[in-house]
Structure 1
Amino acid sequence: MSLKTKRKLDSLTISEGNNNKDGIDLFVNAPPDGSDDDDDDSTDSEESEYSGLEDEPDTTDDDSEEGEETENSDPDTDQETDGSEDSDIILRKVNRHEPETQVQSDEEVEENGLRKDRKEKENIQKAKEKTKKGKEKAKKGTKSIEGSSSQKSGNDTEEKNEELNEYAQDSSDEEDIRNTVGNIPMEWYGEYAHIGYNLEGGKIIKPKRADEVDEFLNKMDNPDYWRTVKDKMTGQDVILSKEDAEMIQRMEKGKFPDAAYDPYEPWVDFFTHEKMIHPVTNRPEHKRSFIPSKWEKLKVGQLVHAIKMGWIKPKKPTTEEDEQPKYYDIWGKDDESAINKRFTQHIPAPKMALPGHEESYNPPPEYLLTEEEELAWKETDPEDRRRNFLPKKYSSLRQVPAYPRFINERFERCLDLYLCPRQRKMRMNVNPEDLIPKLPKPKDLQPFPTTQSIIYEGHSGLVRCISIDPKGQWMASGSDDHSVKLWEVSTGRCLNTVHIGGTVKSLAWNPNPALCLVSVCVEKAVILLNPGLGDKVVITATDNMLTSYQSASEEEENSGLPTTWEDCEEEESMHGCRVRITHPKDVSQVTWHGKGDYFATVMPNAESMSVMIHQLSKRRSQAPFSKSKGMVQKVLFHPTRPFLFVATQRYVRVYNLTKQELTKKLMTNCRWVSSMAVHPGGDNVIVGSYDARLSWFDMDLSTKPYQTLRHHKKALRQVCYHSRYPLFASASDDGTVIVCHGMVYNDLLQNPLIVPVKILRGHKISKDLGVLDCQFHPTQPWILTSGADNTIRLFT
C-alpha cells in the first residue's frame, strides 16, 4: 500500500509541475488527440540532468523489491491493453464520420473496402507510435522527480570533491594538451616566468628548477633517473616506461622499435596463378565512365592549339630501325673500352692548306722566280726553304708532267697524322659587350666643360704655357714671341704684355693668395714677375717681401752654388720683373710648393743638378740629388706631404725630402714621359707620354698603372687635375682635349672611377703641333687651353 500511495503522490506532483488541469496519470497512455506534449514538458530541468537513482541507498526489503518488480512489469501489460482500447476508439470514430454513399456496384464496393482497410491500418500505426512517445516521457519524469531530492543533498559534497580533485587524476598527456602554445620552439619563453597558456587563457607558471646539487643528489638517489626526461611543453619530469626504454634501446642498436615486428613475414599472394571464374572486384562501373569528360575536352583543345602554333612538337613516327630490338652484352664491363675512349676523345687532324696562285700551272708573272732566285733557292737547305717546289708556267693543262714529289708529300702527311700530337683549342664564346665595364652616363656626371666660350687672341707665336692665379680672376700666358701676356679670365681682355727677351717655356703663378707673383722660365733664367694685378696692398706686400732680404743676400757670398740671385734692372722692373735667378743650363719647367715659399726648376741637360729647389724668403738654392738617374722631364711637389715627384723618361720616382730617401718608383710602361699631375688628395698620379698614353697610378694600390687610356691619336703635351671637382684632362697634338671624370673615394677598398665624358675641339694643328697646355679654373668647372694656332680658348 505504501508503494501505491507513493506513486499516486508522484503522479500528483507531476501534474502540478506540468500545470495540467486534468491530472493525467503517468502510467496511462497519452490522449490520442494528436497534440505533442514536448513543448509543455518541463521535467527535463537542470536538476533532472542526473537521475540520482544510482546513488540512492537501498532502504527497502527484498519483498518490497519483488513487489516493485511486479508493479514495474504492470505498465507493459497496461500498455498493450491501452493500445488495443485506443485502436477500438479510433475505429469507432472513423466509422462514425464515414459519409453516406449511394448504391454502388460490387467492384466499387470492393475498392472502397480496400481503401478503408488501408486507412484503418495507418491510423492504428500512428496511434501506437503516439502512445509509445507518451510512455517514454512519463518514465523520464518519474526518474527526475525521484532523484531530485537525493541530487540536492549530494551536490554540495560532489562540488567540493571536484574542486579538490580537479588535477589529481590528470596525466602528462592532458598537461601537454592544456598548454595551448602549439608546435613552436619553447626557447621563445626562456625569458619569461611562464611557459604557455591554458585553455582559459591563463599563464602556466614554470616549475621550479633544481640546482646542480639537487640534480646530483637526484642522480645518485633516484633509481629512475636514467629514464627520466624533461617535457619541454610543461617543464616537468616524465619517467619513461619499461616499454619505452626498451624501444629506445632497440632504436639505438639500429633495430626495429617493435620487437614483435617481422620484416620477413611470408608474402601472401592475393592474385594466384590459378585462373578465377569471377573477377576479384565485381563492382559495376560508374556512370561518369560512360560520359565524355568536359575537362578532358578542354585539355585536348589546348594541346591541339599548341601543336598548331608550334609550341609542342608531336612525337616523330617510329621507323623500322627503332622498332627492332636492341641487344647488349649484359655480362660486359661497365667501363668504356679503350676504343670507345679513343672515339670520344678524338681530335680531328688539321686540314692541309689549299693551293695558292703559285701552284697553278699558269701562275701570274710575279710568282715566277728569276735565275738568281732559283740559284739561291737551290743553295739553301731543304728545311729552310719557304716553299718545296719551283713555280713553272705551262701553256696548257695537258702539258703538265707528273709531280715528282707526290709520294714524298703523301708520306710526310702520313707522318704528320701519325706522329704529331694534337691539341684541341678551346674557344670561349663571350659577348664582347660583357667585357666592356658598365660606366655611368656622362649626363649623370655633370658639371664638366662642354662648349667653347672665349678665344684669347694676341700672341704671334706658339702659346706654350698658361697659368691661373689662385682666385681664378687673372691668367698669364707665355709664348714663342718672347712675351708674357696677362689676361682677365671672365672678359678675355689683355691687361698687360711683358717682353722677356726669350722663348717662354714654362710659367707658374704663386699659389699663395697673399702674394702676387709669377715665375717665368726664359732660356737659362727664372724671372720672378710681379704682374701688378688685383689688390694694391698685396702688390706692395709682394715687393716689400722681395726687397727685405736683399741686404742679407748680399752679405752671403754663395760662390760655390751654380745659381745666382740678382735683382732685375730698372727697365725690366718697370714692366714688373723683380728677381732673376740664373742657372747653368736651359730651364724647361718651374713649379711652386703649395705654401708658396719654395719652387723647383728642371734642367734636363744638367745631369746631377737637373733638379734645383729654391727658397724665396731666404733666396737660397740647393740641388737635392748628387747623381743623375735619367733625364728629368717633370717635377711636382706633393700637395700636403714633404714628397717630391720626379719624372724621368720612363719612371716616376717619389722622394721623401725630410728623410732624404726614395719612397716609391712608379713603372709608367711608356717610352717617353711628357707630363705629370698629382691629385689634390695626393694618393693618385696621372702621367702623359709622347706615345699617346695616359696612365693613372693609385699609389696605395700598386706601383704599376691602375688604368691606361689610349684615347688620343698623337702625343700628349699636358695633363692636369681640377682642384675641387672630380675631373682631369689631357691635351694632345691631335688638336683635342679629352675631359674625364675621375672620382677618388675615401674608402680604400673602392677603386677610383674613371669615365671619359667630353672631347673638346677648337684648336687648329700647326706644324704637327696641336694643344700645348691646359689648366682647370681653380673654382669653376672650366678649362683653359693653349695651342699652336697662337690662341687660348676657354671651355665652360
Structure 2
Amino acid sequence: MKGRERTKRTADKAEKEKEKEVFAEISLDQNGTDSADEDDIVDADGNLIFGPSETVDGEEGEQELPEIIPDYASDDSDEETNNTIGNVPLEWYAELDHIGYDINGKKIPKPKGASKDALDEFLDSMDDPNAWRSVLNKLEGENVVLSDTDLDIIKRIQSKMIPEKDYNPYEPTVEWFSSQTETQPLSAAPEPKRRFIPSKTEGARIMKIVRAIRKGWKKTTEELKEEKEKALPKFYDIWAHSDPDAKDKHMHIPAPRMSLPDHRESYNPPIEYIPTEEEVEEWKALDPEDRPQNFIPKKHPNLRSVGAYDRFVQERFDRCLDLYLCPRMIKNRINIDPESLIPQLPSRKELEPYPTALSVVYEGHEKRIRCFSVDPTGKWLVSGSDDCTVRVWEVLTGRMVKSWKFEEPVQDVKWNPNAEFSILAIAVENDVFLVNPGVSSKEVDEVTDEVFANIWGKESPSKIDWKKPSAAASALGHRVILNFSKNVTTVVWHRKGDYFSTVCPDAGGAAVSIHQISKRQTQNPFKKSYGLVQKVQFHPKKPWLFVATQRYIRVYNLIQQDLIHKLHPGVKWISSMDVHPQGDNVLIGSYDKRLCWFDMDLSSKPYKTLRYHKSAIRNSTFHRTLPLFASCSDDGTLNVFHGMVYDSLDQNPLIVPLKSFKAHKVVDSLGVLHCEFHPVQPWVFSCGSDNGAFVLKLFA
C-alpha cells in the first residue's frame, strides 16, 4: 500500500513539471517577454495564481472571477496530513528517530536537519534568504515558506483590517423583503368553496387506511411498538435492584433554597430587633453553633453607610459544604393505609366491667385531702387531710364512722392488706401511728389487740423508737407510735401484714426503713442512698423491694441483699409507683405528664409510655383482681385503662383506654391528688376539690 502511494506521488510530481514547461512556453509573447502582471503570484510549484482583484472580460462583457485554488484559497482545517499521530504532544517523539506514523502505521522518519541545535539554525537562517518568511510545521517537522499573499493577510490582520483585500463591508443593502408594513392584502379574492368542504381525495386516503387497519393489513403505532418489544431478546440484569428503565430517567433534585432575610438583616431594623448590651454579651458567650443568628443587628442612617459583610465568604463556604457533604436522594414513598397502622383494639363493651359514672361523694374534710386507703374487705375507707384529721367512711353510704385529730397534717395513711388484722398506719410529720380503728368484727379486733399486746414483752434492738401510747390514746385505738428523725412521706404494707416500710427522703442512708410488728424491730436495708427516694413497694410474691428515686427504679432482693434490676423510665421526676399483682409489670407516674408501663421480662425500658394528661401525674395504681389500672393528674382528670397481662410470654400486655373522668376542679394548680381501686369491685376512688369543698368520690 505504501509503495502505491509513493508511485502515485512521483507521477503527480512529473505531471506538475510538464505543466510548468507548458506554462513557460505559453506565457512568452511575440517579443519574448513574460505576459504575467506584476500582481500575479507564482507558487512554489510554478503554478500561476491570479491576484484577488484580477478580472477577465468574456465575450458578453461579464466579469469573471479567478479560479479558486484549493491549496490556498479554501479552508484547510480538514486538510489531510501524512502524520497521523493525532492530538498528542510532539515532545514524546523528541528523542526518537521518527516524528510519527502514516495512515498505514509506518514510521515517518525525521527530515534532514531536524535535530539541529540553535547555532546551526542561526547559520542556516543567515544563508537562507527566505528564512524571515519561513514557518516551522511541527507536525511534519519541516519549514514552510509563506507566500506574498500569506504575508499580506498577516499584515492586514496585524493592522486590525479585514484579511481579504477586496472585501467591501459597506455594500448597498438589498431589501429582499419590504420594510413597509402592508395593511391591505395583496389579493382581495374571496376564499374558494373548496376551502370549506372536506377533501374527497383525503377522505378516500383515510378510508383506505381505515380499511387496512380493520383487516389487519396496517398496524397502529402501539402495535408496532409492542411487536418491536417482543422481538427484543429477553435479557435482563439479574443483579439489578431497581428498574432498568430508571437509569434513563434523569431525576434532578434541586438544592434547598436559602432562607430569606428578615427584619433583623435590614440596614435600618426596628427598635425591638436591636439587642441591648446584656443581650450582646450573652450572644458572645454562646458557642457559634448555639447562637440563634450569626450576626448582631445594627442600625445605619442610610444604605451607603453599610459596610462590607465580613462573613460573606464564610457563609458561602458553609453553603458549599452543605451542598457537598449533604447529598440529596429520592426515597420512594410507601403507600400504607393509615388504618392498618392503628392497632386493632377490642371494643370497650367487651372489656366491661369498669367504672363509668360517679356514684358516691364523701364530704367532711375542711382542707385538702392528701391520701386515703380502702380496707381489704372493701367496706371501709380511711382518708387523711391537711386539716390534721383522719376519718373512716362507710364505702356504700358515704357515712363517716370515726375520726382522729392530730397536731400536724397527715402525710399518708394505709390499711393493712391482711383481712385477719384491722390496723391503720398513719404518717404524721416524724411519727407513724399504728391504730386499731375498731370498725371490723369483734374477733378481728381481738386478734389485732392480742398482736400488739404480745410485742411489749419482747426486747429487741431497734434504731427507731417504738413507743407505747398513753391510756387516753389507747382508748382512741392507738397501739404503737414510731418516732423518726425526719419527716415520713410514705407508708407501704407487705401483703402478709406483718411488715411495712416507710420513706424519709431527707434521712440519707436511713431513707428506707422496714418494720416488723411481731418482733417490734426496725431495719435499714441500705447503708447509703443513690438519690432522693420517692416511693417504695414490696413485690407481691417474692422478697423483693422496689425503690424509686427521682429518675430510676432499683429492684433489690432482700434475702440475697443485692441489686436485681434497674429500670430506666426516661422521665425527669417520678411521682408514683405501683406493682402489678403478678409482679412482672410496674406502673410509673411522673411529674412531666408521662405514665410508663414496664414489662420486666421484656426490657429495662418502658414497654408503653402514655401521654394522656396535660399536667403532672399524682398517682397511678393497679386493680388487685381485675385487669384495670388508673392514673390521676393535676389537670383534674382521672383516666381508667384496661391492662391485661397474659401468662404466655409470646403475648405482650394489652393496654386499652377506657374512660376519662373530669373528677375534680383545679385549685391552686392542684387537681386530683390520689386515686385507688376497690379491692374487689370495679370501682375507683379519687380525692380533690369540688365546688369549694374537699371531697372524695367513688366512680362505679
Q: Post-superposition shift, 1:477?
A: 0.4
1:350 is aligned to 2:259: no
1:460 is aligned to 2:460: no
TM-score by length of 1: 0.52
1:793 is aligned to 2:685: no
Q: Post-superposition shift, 1:593?
A: 0.7
Aligned to 2:442: 536
Measure, in 1, the Cα distance between the counterparts of 2:649 and 2:236: 57
Measure, in 2, the Cα distance between the counterparts of 1:567 and 1:781: 39
Task: Give 1:426's match in structure 2, choosing from 317, 331, 355.
Answer: 331
Unaligned runs of 5+ in 2: 1-218
The answer to whether the Cα contact below 8 Å between 1:654 and 1:663 also exists between their aligned partners in 2 is: yes
Measure, in 2, the Cα distance between the counterparts of 1:411 and 1:643: 62
Aligned to 1:661: 562
Unaligned runs of 5+ in 1: 1-315
**CA separation of 1:369 and 1:459: change in aligned 2, threshold 3 A:** closer
Query: 2:498 is matched by which residue type in structure 1?
Result: D
Aligned to 1:492: 398
Q: Report SS of the residue matched to 1:630.
A: coil
Measure, in 2, the Cα distance between the counterparts of 1:492 and 1:444: 31
Aligned to 2:488: 587
**CA separation of 1:461 and 1:317: change in aligned 2, threshold 3 A:** farther
Q: 1:453-493, CA deviations, whole angstroms, 9 ceiling, x for partnerless residues?
A: 11100001111111111110011100111110000000000
The answer to whether the Cα contact below 8 Å between 1:361 and 1:394 also exists between their aligned partners in 2 is: no
Task: Give 2:579's match in structure 1, choosing from 662, 669, 678.
Answer: 678
Measure, in 1, the Cα distance between the counterparts of 2:523 and 2:600: 28
Aligned to 1:281: none
1:688 is aligned to 2:589: yes
Q: Report SS of the residue matched to 2:505.
A: coil
The answer to whether the Cα contact below 8 Å between 2:431 and 2:484 also exists between their aligned partners in 1 is: yes
Task: Give 1:602's match in structure 2, choosing from 503, 507, 511.
Answer: 503
Q: Report SS of the residue matched to 1:457.
A: strand
Measure, in 2, the Cα distance between the counterparts of 1:690 and 1:489: 30
Q: Report SS of the residue matched to 2:365.
A: coil
Measure, in 1, the Cα distance between the counterparts of 2:480 and 2:322: 83
Q: Post-superposition shift, 1:572?
A: 1.6
Q: Report SS of the residue matched to 1:527.
A: strand
The answer to whether the Cα contact below 8 Å between 1:357 and 1:364 also exists between their aligned partners in 2 is: no
Q: Report SS of the residue matched to 1:552.
A: coil
Q: Post-superposition shift, 1:428?
A: 3.5
**CA separation of 1:363 and 1:649: change in aligned 2, threshold 3 A:** same
Structure that is richer in helix per residue = 1
Q: 1:320-369, CA deviations, whole angstroms, 9 ceiling, x for partnerless residues?
A: xx99xx9xxx9xx9999xxx998646443315337445599998746987
The answer to whether the Cα contact below 8 Å between 1:347 and 1:422 also exists between their aligned partners in 2 is: no
**CA separation of 1:562 and 1:428: change in aligned 2, threshold 3 A:** farther
Q: Report SS of the residue matched to 1:511.
A: coil
Aligned to 2:674: 773
**CA separation of 1:415 and 1:460: change in aligned 2, threshold 3 A:** closer
Q: Post-superposition shift, 1:628?
A: 1.4
Match runs of 1:557-568 below 5 Å: 558=461, 561-568=462-469
Q: Report SS of the residue matched to 1:447.
A: coil
The answer to whether the Cα contact below 8 Å between 1:358 and 1:391 also exists between their aligned partners in 2 is: no
The answer to whether the Cα contact below 8 Å between 2:268 and 2:298 also exists between their aligned partners in 1 is: no
Q: 1:746-768, CA deviations, whole angstroms, 9 ceiling, x for partnerless residues?
A: 11110000011100113111111
The answer to whether the Cα contact below 8 Å between 2:532 and 2:549 also exists between their aligned partners in 1 is: yes
Q: Post-superposition shift, 1:400?
A: 14
Measure, in 2, the Cα distance between the counterparts of 1:413 and 1:334: 43
Query: 1:499 is matched by which residue type in structure 2?
Result: K
Task: Give 1:727's match in structure 2, choosing from 606, 628, 631.
Answer: 628
Query: 1:451 is matched by which residue type in structure 2?
Result: A
Measure, in 1, the Cα distance between the counterparts of 2:370 and 2:355: 22
The answer to whether the Cα contact below 8 Å between 1:359 and 1:391 also exists between their aligned partners in 2 is: no
**CA separation of 1:674 and 1:421: change in aligned 2, threshold 3 A:** closer
**CA separation of 1:567 and 1:351: change in aligned 2, threshold 3 A:** closer
Aligned to 2:421: 515
Structure that is richer in strand per residue = 2
Match runs of 1:55-70 below 5 Å: none
Task: Give 1:437's match in structure 2, choosing from 343, 366, 373.
Answer: 343
1:710 is aligned to 2:611: yes
Aligned to 1:616: 517
Query: 2:451 is matched by which residue type in structure 1?
Result: M
Measure, in 1, the Cα distance between the counterparts of 2:510 and 2:324: 66
Q: Report SS of the residue matched to 2:457.
A: helix
Choose 727-736 or 360-369, whichever is displaced more. 360-369
The answer to whether the Cα contact below 8 Å between 1:638 and 1:678 also exists between their aligned partners in 2 is: yes
Query: 1:548 is matched by which residue type in structure 2?
Result: N
Q: Post-superposition shift, 1:729?
A: 0.3
Q: Post-superposition shift, 1:638?
A: 0.9
Measure, in 2, the Cα distance between the counterparts of 1:455 and 1:649: 34
Q: Report SS of the residue matched to 2:446.
A: helix
Aligned to 1:165: none
Query: 1:667 is matched by which residue type in structure 2?
Result: H
The answer to whether the Cα contact below 8 Å between 2:366 and 2:694 also exists between their aligned partners in 1 is: yes
| Greater gyration radius | 1
Q: Report SS of the residue matched to 1:458.
A: strand
Measure, in 1, the Cα distance between the counterparts of 2:315 and 2:670: 61
Aligned to 2:541: 640
Q: Report SS of the residue matched to 1:605.
A: helix
TM-score by length of 2: 0.59
Q: 1:496-542, CA deviations, whole angstroms, 9 ceiling, x for partnerless residues?
A: 11112221111111111111111100111110011110211211221
Measure, in 2, the Cα distance between the counterparts of 1:666 and 1:404: 54
Q: Report SS of the residue matched to 2:529.
A: coil
Q: 1:631-679, CA deviations, whole angstroms, 9 ceiling, x for partnerless residues?
A: 1111111111111111111111111111111111111111111111011
1:576 is aligned to 2:477: yes
The answer to whether the Cα contact below 8 Å between 1:382 and 1:388 also exists between their aligned partners in 2 is: no
**CA separation of 1:416 and 1:770: change in aligned 2, threshold 3 A:** closer
Q: Report SS of the residue matched to 2:472.
A: helix
Q: Report SS of the residue matched to 2:444.
A: helix
Measure, in 2, the Cα distance between the counterparts of 1:754 and 1:763: 25
**CA separation of 1:419 and 1:645: change in aligned 2, threshold 3 A:** closer
Query: 2:356 is matched by which residue type in structure 1?
Result: T
Q: Report SS of the residue matched to 1:444.
A: helix
Percent identity over the alignment is: 43
Q: Post-superposition shift, 1:549?
A: 2.3
Q: 1:198-219, CA deviations, whole angstroms, 9 ceiling, x for partnerless residues?
A: xxxxxxxxxxxxxxxxxxxxxx
Query: 2:604 is matched by which residue type in structure 1?
Result: T
Query: 2:624 is matched by which residue type in structure 1?
Result: S
The answer to whether the Cα contact below 8 Å between 2:274 and 2:297 also exists between their aligned partners in 1 is: no
Query: 1:790 is matched by which residue type in structure 2?
Result: F
**For the aligned residues, what is the CA RMSD?**
4.2
1:629 is aligned to 2:535: no
Q: Post-superposition shift, 1:421?
A: 6.1
The answer to whether the Cα contact below 8 Å between 1:636 and 1:645 also exists between their aligned partners in 2 is: yes
Q: Report SS of the residue matched to 1:757.
A: strand
Query: 2:395 is matched by which residue type in structure 1?
Result: V
Query: 1:610 is matched by which residue type in structure 2?
Result: A
The answer to whether the Cα contact below 8 Å between 1:643 and 1:657 also exists between their aligned partners in 2 is: yes
Measure, in 2, the Cα distance between the counterparts of 1:410 and 1:537: 86
